Structure 1
Amino acid sequence: MTRRPLIIGAGPAGLSAGLELVRRGVTPTILESSSGVGGLARTEGDGDFRVDPGGHRFFTRSEEVSEIWRSLLPEDQWLVVPRSSAMLVHNRFVRYPLMGRDLVRQLGLRDGVYGAGSYAWARLRRQTRIEPRQSNFKEWGRTEFGRRWYELFFDGYVRKTWLADPENIASDWANQRIKPIGWRLSSDASLADQDVFRYPRHGPGQVWDAAADKLRAAGATIETNAMVTRANYKNGTWTLTTERGDVHTGDAVFASMPLRTLVNALRPAPPKYIRSVADNLRHRSLITVAVALSKNYDIPYNWVYTPGANFHAGRIQNYRRWSQHLVPKGWNGTFLGLEYFLLPDQDLWLADAHSLSAIVENDLQQLGFAKPEVEKVMISRMKFAYPIHDPIRDRSVVRIRDYLREHYPSLHPIGRNGMHHYDNQDHAMLSAIRSVGKNFGENVDPWQVNTELSYHEQGLRR
């Protein structure tokens, strides 16, 4: 039985592993590379302005996860927020998930008729099985939406946000996350059909700060600015060394650090072929630029996707649609978060505020804000934000997973980065909880979390 567990990373996965260990009577040591907890789900602040870097809906099908969230914050700290998203195409907001009546009505005659014909042809080909199963995103998108609407809404967006040709992106995540076109004729939706989610009043970091407080109160240690650079395993004992030279020992490790980084930190080092496989795993980085504008612009959505080449940002958050508590009380301006996706080694990652401001100014102009009065700018960076699902991802991760299972039985990769899988925070939490259970001898497989072919978030789960 594990008595001295070590956890690498204090995001949703690492903190959930810690909570589960404490529930089982064991107090862990958690090592976090950054200066705070929450990972991408942290909330950064400047005065009374608060930034959610990734835009986090608190939705889950798991009652186990729901119970954890409820236990961390009292009921009056949760908001119920309607999901309201749109794609900005040809200077028009088109509601997303896509609805057939919007496509025909809002895109104009040419795109409406052309797109509908292309969609009908794609449906016919699918039904008559002319086309084989779609293995990449481009094939999937053309089959699901037709060539015209795929190119209009998704091709440019995928290239911009995944930084790859759609033919080189696997289709599995698309099946989970992108809903088919809805063809309900009426625009009225009953309360039961409303697409809503929970959201903490002061942003997602409010939940994970509470989790950290609960862990500390139970005797757990959480060290920040403690990047693990070496993980030595010998005779059943783990010795983790941080960048600043601190050393921690334990009998099990739960690691949410990027899988490729973990493999390269292991001692004794895995064989060259495993390290080569790990080196091929790729991530996207994320820079979120939060901009407070004095004028109140009417943007009736909490998320706006920008597939057009004229935008640098891939997605824009409207923070006041998430929660009015993300802005100062009584303030009536516009608070947006422009999300820029890039590779970790791109020049933009190192760009200073002045360089980013020119890009942001262009995107604000594309939104129709000719000369916006900017009150405040906040910049948030996450170097390893999203694992990339390219064609080699699945087989690479399987080879690494099987090797680690055989040679490091008390090492448990967890969460989005640890498993190199595009998880939501509830899936990251479940992978951590299941890993703790497996470490305690339960017959569970954490790698089977979030492997459903379809997982669409809709409706409130309490």
Structure 2
Amino acid sequence: MQKYPVVIIGAGPAGLTAAYQLMKENIKSIVLEQSDKVGGISRTETYKGYRFDIGGHRFFTKVTEVEKLWYEVMGDEFIKVPRMSRIYYKGKFFNYPLTLFNTLQNIGIVNSALILLSYFKAKVQARMRTNWEAENFEEWVTDRFGSRLYETFFKTYTEKVWGIPCTQIRADWAAQRIQGMSLKRAVINALFGSQNAKSLIKEFDYPLLGPGMMWERFQEKVESQGSPVLMETQVTRVEREGNRIKSITVLQADKTIQITGANFISTMPVTALLHRMDPQPPEHVLEAARGLKYRDFLIVSLIIDEKDLFPDNWIYIHSPEFKVGRIQNFKNWSPAMVPDASYTCLGMEYFCSQGDELWEMSDSKLIELASREVVNLGLVSNINKIEDGTVIRQYKAYPVYDGEYQKHLKVIQTYLEGFENLQTVGRNGMHRYNNQDHSMLTGMLAVKNILGENHDLWNVNTERSYHEEFTVEESKQKVQALAK
């Protein structure tokens, strides 16, 4: 039996941020992590000295407190990286963000004119409607950009990512991920340059050795102050008593440990959390948990005997004839990610679901597929240039916003809010497609709630105030009481 003031499940951005904030207030915590690396989906993997991300993570935020925390932890180990990405569609590469002459050249004046006409038609139709609200992704995007732009730049890639038709994806996801964008702004930016839009930033911060470096530093700092981070530790039971969590039982190698605490913060998939509770939640809550879906992800990292392949950080592959969804060039994130400057490491990213054809494919077949596709895309001249590769699979990478998720999540949220000493944070802890800065913000606010403040974590990344403002007072009396 072990006892800590705060018990944290998960050593990803949200969990480690919470542990770090508690450490700064002299409050001990323990972090329980199932895998052998910290950082969750923001970790950095290593293969034969080559370092690569699970999805690529830019460090840019409007949340001042999060930005301060990044620099506080990383210091001069941050580098500035110029942002460059493109879209591959129908055999051509489009600048992203769109530039006027490149787009005209690729799709032609006639198609460009038809896209604009489709856009104006959508705007006219929108003015004629009353009391109408888009319910799915297709309706949301078409309403704002027109049907032709939707078909050209949104439909195929989105369906590749999620594995379901755009008509089955909730409009919430579009509103969360594409907010602030408009065709008018895209044209203005194409003609006159970026107007300071978040999605159009020219450079971003990046840890020298990848995003996992950030979370390794967090781990070092919290452990140095007596708050352990237990790796390869699986939560098997969450004991509850009334509206309080009493203890957590974990399995570490062949050892079973029971941990009690005054407060609990969970970043594990909310579905798994509910199924580990003892006694189990009511059946309608478990039914809602069973209704939530996830999209899995795998990355095939290829080591290529070429010094320079292309200048992008990443390329989106919209063409449906290719299974790959996105390609990372890790050398262009940081030269230190590649141990031999005469070589390049590419990350071929495939969106899939556990049990489907891609997920079940052997590593050797996946490396073969990725090698063939990168050559057919014209990014590598000869398949013989590809010398090696490895595969990393990521379970539950993305919470799915299907037609039923909102109803199920509301049931779960209502149930969890009834607990006095439990908060769920982060992407999987809230079944919300958060960026890492918003996941960190939920961890920061969870600590502030423990200190006596009152923040609604479910509003993070939905309420504008949490995007651009973060000013809260510390509760010193509560800190002192908890630290004892």
Partner Cα separation in structure 1 for residue 368 and residue 388 of structure 2: 15
- 2:170 is the counterpart of 1:180: no
| Structure 1: runs of 5+ lacking an equivalent | 458-462
Name the Cα RMSD after superposition. Answer: 2.4
SS at match of 2:445: helix
Give the drift of 1:424. Answer: 0.4
SS at match of 1:59: coil
Partner Cα separation in structure 2 for residue 297 and residue 131 of structure 1: 53
- 2:48 is the counterpart of 1:54: no
Return the match for 2:246 from 231, 238, 242: 238
Give the drift of 1:158. Answer: 1.0
1:36-115 alignment to 2 at 5 Å? 36-75=37-76, 77-115=77-115
Change (3 A) 1:333 1:232: same
Determine the structure 1 residue equivalent to 2:480: none
Whether contact under 8 Å (2:176, 2:461) holds in the other structure is: no
Whether contact under 8 Å (1:176, 1:456) holds in the other structure is: no
Determine the structure 1 residue equivalent to 2:472: none
Aligned residues: 453
Q: Deviations over 1:316-354 (max 9, x none)?
A: 11212211111125x233321111111133343243211
Determine the structure 1 residue equivalent to 2:345: 335
My pick for the range that moved more, 121-130 or 372-381, is 121-130
- 2:233 is the counterpart of 1:226: yes
Determine the structure 2 residue equivalent to 1:299: 310
Determine the structure 2 residue equivalent to 1:404: 416
1:198-347 alignment to 2 at 5 Å? 198-234=205-241, 236=244, 238-244=246-252, 245-296=256-307, 298-329=309-340, 331-347=341-357
SS at match of 1:64: helix
Whether contact under 8 Å (2:245, 2:264) holds in the other structure is: no
Identity rate, percent:
34
Give the drift of 1:247. Answer: 2.3
Letter in 1 for 2:41: L
Q: Deviations over 1:410-453 (max 9, x none)?
A: 11111000000000001001111111221232121111111147
Give the drift of 1:107. Answer: 1.4
What TM-score does the superposition give when structure 1 sets the normalisation length?
0.91
Determine the structure 2 residue equivalent to 1:434: 445
Partner Cα separation in structure 2 for residue 102 and residue 121 of structure 1: 24
What TM-score does the superposition give when structure 2 sets the normalisation length?
0.87
Give the drift of 1:130. Answer: 7.5
Whether contact under 8 Å (1:415, 1:428) holds in the other structure is: yes
Determine the structure 2 residue equivalent to 1:443: 454
Change (3 A) 1:180 1:335: farther
Change (3 A) 1:195 1:185: closer
Partner Cα separation in structure 1 for residue 28 and residue 114 of structure 2: 61
My pick for the range that moved more, 202-211 or 378-387, is 378-387
Change (3 A) 1:250 1:63: same
Letter in 2 for 1:173: W
Letter in 1 for 2:406: D
- 2:392 is the counterpart of 1:380: yes
Change (3 A) 1:292 1:256: same
My pick for the range that moved more, 393-402 or 416-425, is 393-402
Give the drift of 1:78. Answer: 1.2
My pick for the range that moved more, 142-151 or 183-192, is 183-192
Give the drift of 1:218. Answer: 0.8
| Structure 2: runs of 5+ lacking an equivalent | 469-484
Q: Deviations over 1:31-90 (max 9, x none)?
A: 101011011111111233110111101111111111111111122x11222222211011
Whether contact under 8 Å (1:176, 1:455) holds in the other structure is: no
Determine the structure 1 residue equivalent to 2:121: 121
Determine the structure 2 residue equivalent to 1:460: none
